[in-house]
Structure 1
Amino acid sequence: MTGTEKAAILLLYVGTEATSKVFQHMEDSEIKKISQAMANLGHVTLPVIQEVVEEFTQITNPESGFFSQGDEFVRKILEKALGPQKAEMLLQELSTSNFGDLEDILANMDPKTIANFLSQEHPQTIAVIVAKLRPKQTSEIISHLPQELQAEVVIRIADVDQVSPEILSDIDDVIRKELTAMGGIQRFKVGGVEKVVEMFNHLDRSREKRILDSLDVMNPPLAEAIRKHLFTFDDIFKLDDRTIQGIMREVSNDTLTLAIKASSEEVREKVFRNISSRAAEMIKEDIEVMGPVRLSDVEKAQTEIIKIVRKMEEEGKVVLAGRGADDVLV
Structure 2
Amino acid sequence: MTGAEKAAVLMLYLGPEATARVFEHLEDGDIKKISQSMSKLGHVPRQQITDVIAEFTDITNPETGFFAQGEDFVKKILERALGPQRAELLLQEIRTSGIGDMTDILSSMDPRTIANFFSQEHPQTIAVVLAKLKPKQTSEIISLLPQDLQAEVVIRIAEVDQVSPEILNEIDEVIRVELTALGGVQRFKVGGVEKVVDVFGHLDRSREKKILDKLDTLNPPLAEVIRKHLFTFEDIFKLDDRAIQVVMREVSNDTLTLAMKTSPDDVKQKIFRNISSRAAEMISEDLEVMGPVRLSDVEKAQSEIIKIVRKMEEDGKVVIAGRGSDDVLV
TM-score bucket (shorter structure): 0.3 to 0.5
Compute the TM-score of the two structures, normalised by the length of structure 1. Answer: 0.46
Identify the structure with bigger relative contact order (alpha carbons < 8 Å, sequence gap 6+): 1
The TM-score with structure 2 as length reference comes to 0.46
Report which of the two structures shows the higher radius of gyration computed on alpha carbons.
2
